[in-house]
Amino acid sequence: MDLLQALLLGLIEGITEYLPVSSTGHLLIAQRLMGIDENDVSHAYAIAIQAGAILAVLGLYRQRVGQMLRGVVGRDSAGLKLALCVIVGFLPAAVIGAAFDKAIEARLFGVTPIIAAWTVGAIVILALSRWTTAHREGKPLEQLDWRGALLIGLAQCIAMWPGTSRSLVTILGGLLVGLSLPAAVEFAFLLGLVTLTAATGYKSLKLGNGMVTAYGWPVLLAGFAAAWLSAAIAVKWMVAWLNRHGLAVFAWWRLAAAALAAALLWHA
């Protein structure tokens, strides 16, 4: 992997990480199109550069994160409740991810599973378009309880299938438990901070030396920086777009990505 490829992968990661289109699916397809060897190290790189997107969202939601930290030290009861909800929401993915990580990578990190997930997700978005619009108004984030957080966390596990999109299933899970669309989006981002940090930390500790040996520090830092800058822009745009237009545009994005991937890879 060279520096230009790293920058392109970082841009793809940052743009797609928090959009309901699946960053992992985009990165795996992009790596294959670039001719990057498909192995544990390249898969780990696709996860490790999430750190840039994490940092971007941490900056954008620093006030809410600060509220949760104050809650943890006993200075904000609402912040403590939200922090506990985020932890409860994270637990299903932590347990299932640890148990099935190898099986998921062996069976689902391929072109056909990703295209299938992109397509099914698009159909779900279009089928639920009216429902999501009708549920744009709902409960604020402060009214989320641990039961609702657990259901959102269980929904997040579906996104272990690349192409599904963690953002999509957690936003839909938030709407299902009665949150407003803005609240569901915000909780999806906050839950993502913990989930993505855990996944990034796990892969970096496990395969960090392998990534440095294979690609070098400049490539790793380039991907991180590109992901950071592009995620900050993408998240601001997504929040503004969803508040005005809803999810439908992302269904067409997913279908276009599936069709392009099929045309370029299946017939290569």
What is the pLDDT averaged over residues 205-226?
Answer: 89
What is the pLDDT averaged over residues 20-49?
Answer: 87
Q: How far is CA 62 from CA 70, 85, 107, 140, in A?
A: 12, 17, 37, 18
Q: Is the pLDDT of residue 135 over 80?
A: no
Residue 188 confidence (pLDDT): 94
Residue 73 lies in a domain: yes
What is the pLDDT averaged over residues 200-208?
Answer: 85
Q: Is the pLDDT of residue 191 over 80?
A: yes
Residue 155 lies in a domain: yes
What DSSP line would sit under 19-84, residue for residue?
TTT-HHHHHHHHHHHTT---SHHHHHHHHHTHHHHHHHHHHHTHHHHHHHHHHHTTS-HHHHHHHH
Q: Is the pLDDT of residue 268 over 60?
A: no
Nearest by Cα to 48 from 32, 66, 27: 27
Residue 268 lies in a domain: no
What is the pLDDT averaged over residues 97-123?
Answer: 86
Containing H/E element for 152? Answer: helix 146-157
The torsion angles phi and psi of 36, rounded to 5 degrees, stand at -75, 130
What is the pLDDT averaged over residues 141-155?
Answer: 95
Count the neighbouring beta carbons within 10 Å of the beta carbon of residue 26.
25
- Whole-prediction pTM: 0.88
Residue 267 lies in a domain: no
What is the pLDDT averaged over residues 22-42?
Answer: 87
Residue 33 confidence (pLDDT): 87
Residue 187 lies in a domain: yes
> What's the number of domains the chain is made of?
1
What is the pLDDT averaged over residues 44-55?
Answer: 87
Contact (CB, 8 A) for 90 and 190: no
What's the mean per-residue pLDDT of the chain? 89
SS3 category, 179: strand
Residue 131: domain span: 3-262
Q: Is the pLDDT of residue 267 over 80?
A: no
User: What whole-number distance in Å separates Cα of residue 189 and Cα of residue 215?
Assistant: 30
Residue 266 confidence (pLDDT): 66
Residue 39 lies in a domain: yes
Per residue in 54-95, pLDDT tens?
Answer: 999 888 889 999 999 999 999 999 999 999 999 999 999 999
Per residue in 230-266, pLDDT tens?
Answer: 999 998 898 888 878 888 899 999 999 999 888 887 6
Nearest by Cα to 155 from 111, 108, 191, 112: 191
Residue 118 confidence (pLDDT): 95
